[in-house]
A and B are shown apart, each in its own frame.
Chain A
Amino acid sequence: MRREGSPFQGLGTVAVKELSDNLSSARMLVLELLIVLTALAALYGAIDSLRQNTAEDPFLLLRLFTVDRAPLPSFVAILGFLIPLMAIGLGFDSINSEHNRRTLSRILAQPIYRDALLMGKFLAGLTTLAISLAALWLMVIGLGLIFLGVPPGGEEVARSLAFLVIAIFYAGVWLSLAILLSIVFRSPATAALVALGIWLFLTVLWPMLAPALAQVIAPPDPRYAALGLDTPETAIWAQTLARLSPNHLFGEAMLAVLSPTTRSLGPVFLEQLRGAVMGAPLPFGESLMIAWPQTVGLIASTIVLFVAGYVVFQRQEVRA
């Protein structure tokens, strides 16, 4: 059952063409503008509040990412909300539009495998997102330099680079989801609607539903409640359920990487904190270790969703 020839033949060609389509499309411009403007607003708030308590923090640059000032959420929170929108915008019509334009059978009649087409589109989308995120990252660093006037330290740059990489994987999850939906649904409008529905559910509804579900699964113990504490089982269930959303994983990973004082992402017993100097920053490597499971979760979801799309696409009929 072996196929002859390389599945990657034509991959570069497809990726370059899709990348140039992505970068020159009006849709991309609108999404970019949306993100840059919202991010600028968040940064403005952050810079403003940081200026008032400068020199208190050794990681001033990182605070730019995480500080919020009402009514605006922090830069990272905004990205966690808007990166999916951008990825969905890039991916929701990647395969079904080829069907509808009737270009699919013509392209697949060229000496390439379907693998190359799908992979090329995914890589082009991911590269586009990576370019935009890198530009945003540079913008934050640049604004930090201009308005705070403090040069970033090596660790700050390393931590913000980790932020960039994790953000790209987070975008990858949503891009593979959008591409999967574009394979499953023949109409781009349906695919976009379903993708946006999933996005809203996971980012807005799921954080509210997860604790409620946890209370159903593991009812809180009244003895803990009497002490004003969370029941450990309920808290763990709530966190496990919340982690099903890539949005939550991204948030946790960002917390670990961008706030060096984060020691744990889950509930801890008091005895586990014995000997810890509260408020002291962890070394970069330790922070990465804390964020690592979340990052792996994001990478794994990307791969699982992409593979699902790949399997469906391989079995799909070409004819319109």
Chain B
Amino acid sequence: MSDAEGKAVTTASEAVITARDLTKRYSGVSVVDAINFDILKGEVFGLLGPNGAGKTTTILMVLGLTDISAGQVRVLGYDPARAPLQVKRRVGYLPDSVGFYDHLTAAENLSYTAKLMGLSRTERPRRIAAALARVQLLDVANERVATFSRGMRQRLGLAEIVVKQAEIAILDEPTSGLDPQATHELLDLIGELKAEGVTVLLSSHLLDQVQRVCNRVALFQAGRVVLMGPVADLARQVLGAGFVVEVEADGAGLARRFATIPGVTGVETLAADRFRMTADRDVRPDAARVVVGANGSLRRLFVDVPSLETIYARYFQSHKEPSRGARHAA
């Protein structure tokens, strides 16, 4: 599960967050159990898993907001437990369902945290205006946050990270509870952060969104990282093959012919005219050729990109541990 670390989709291979045997125990129970990961500069790294799997606890340990029971973590070379101010100066954090002071305006809220960041009086208004413009909240900058929707609050939280000019953005469930439009906007903003070279660590239980923005993901289960790597790699590990191609076509002996295509590892006949192939590459052109060659009529041909959802479901089906299953449901 660590063989994918070297293949991260990034040119710089400098690890900005490293965790070694990171463990958190609450009264003897390990909530996070000896996890290891390296997050490279400029990548978007996703922490996935059901609620209570230890994602938020991991994030809080990375930020130095909760004590580490065992193991160690380094953020930009600093120990968050010993040098928390150095870490927090350069890391932005958007907590799960972030809150603001409702009686203050958006700009006043940002101004307060900007002061806490130690920004100078001249720099503050400039950075705040720029950040609010970035997240499209500039026109409501002087309205009280009490009137803001959840999506606006999440964007305001991102604006805080922009004001900080953080090198690492840590986002805890950034899209949970948002409507599709707001989710889309937020994911775009995360993409923009990434394009600027910000390293993003985000946690989520909403898999399709994570898949859209993450370079690599770590799958949490009951406090352990059970899978880690780029989504495509995970698909190969868990599902056995990278591509699933479905064909809807008439023709004699198609299933037999499909099986002879190089790279196809299996053919399933779903109906008289529907077939599903698993392959280690995109075999759509070959499949089309086969149907035409057999004088068949090709009606539909599509590749079923393995979704994280499938990987996830399949993984948990095959690795159900009865003793642990009860706990992560809690």
Contacts and interface: CB of A to CB of B under 8 A. Distances in A.
Interface of A: 2-5, 9-10, 13-14, 17, 21, 101-103, 105-113, 317-319
A109 B61 CA distance: 12
A3 B113 contact: no
Contacts of A109: 63, 65, 88, 91-93, 95
A102 B98 contact: yes
Interface residues of B, number: 33
B188 interface: no
A1 to B, nearest CB: 8
A259 B88 CA distance: 55
A111 B116 contact: yes
Contacts of B57: 319
A5 B83 CA distance: 8
Contact of B89 (A103, A111, A113): A111
A113 B82 CA distance: 12
A106 B157 contact: yes
B107 to A, nearest CB: 14
B185 to A, nearest CB: 20
A102 B97 contact: yes
Nearest to B93: A109
Nearest to A317: B66
B86 A10 contact: no
Top 4 nearest A-B pairs (CB, nearest first) are A102-B99, A109-B93, A5-B85, A110-B116
Contacts of B315: none
Interface string B51-71: 000001100100101100000
A110 B82 CA distance: 15
Contacts of B65: 105, 108-109, 318
B93 A105 contact: yes
Contacts, number: 84
Contact of B115 (A13, A106, A319): A13
Given A102-B97, A106-B94, 7 more contacts: A4-B83, A4-B86, A17-B112, A105-B65, A107-B113, A109-B63, A109-B91
A318 to B, nearest CB: 5
24 contacts: A3-B82, A3-B83, A4-B83, A4-B86, A9-B118, A10-B116, A13-B112, A17-B112, A21-B103, A102-B97, A103-B101, A106-B94, A106-B95, A107-B116, A109-B63, A109-B65, A111-B85, A111-B88, A111-B116, A111-B117, A112-B116, A317-B66, A318-B65, A318-B66
Given A107-B116, A110-B113, A111-B116, A3 B97 contact: no
Contacts of B60: 105, 318-319
Nearest to A25: B103
B100 interface: yes
A102 B109 CA distance: 13
A67 B62 CA distance: 61
B69 to A, nearest CB: 13
Contacts of B94: 106
B102 interface: yes
Contact of A101 (B83, B102, B112, B160): B102
B84 interface: yes
A109 B80 CA distance: 11
Contacts of B91: 109
Given A106-B157, A107-B116, A318-B66, A113 B84 contact: yes
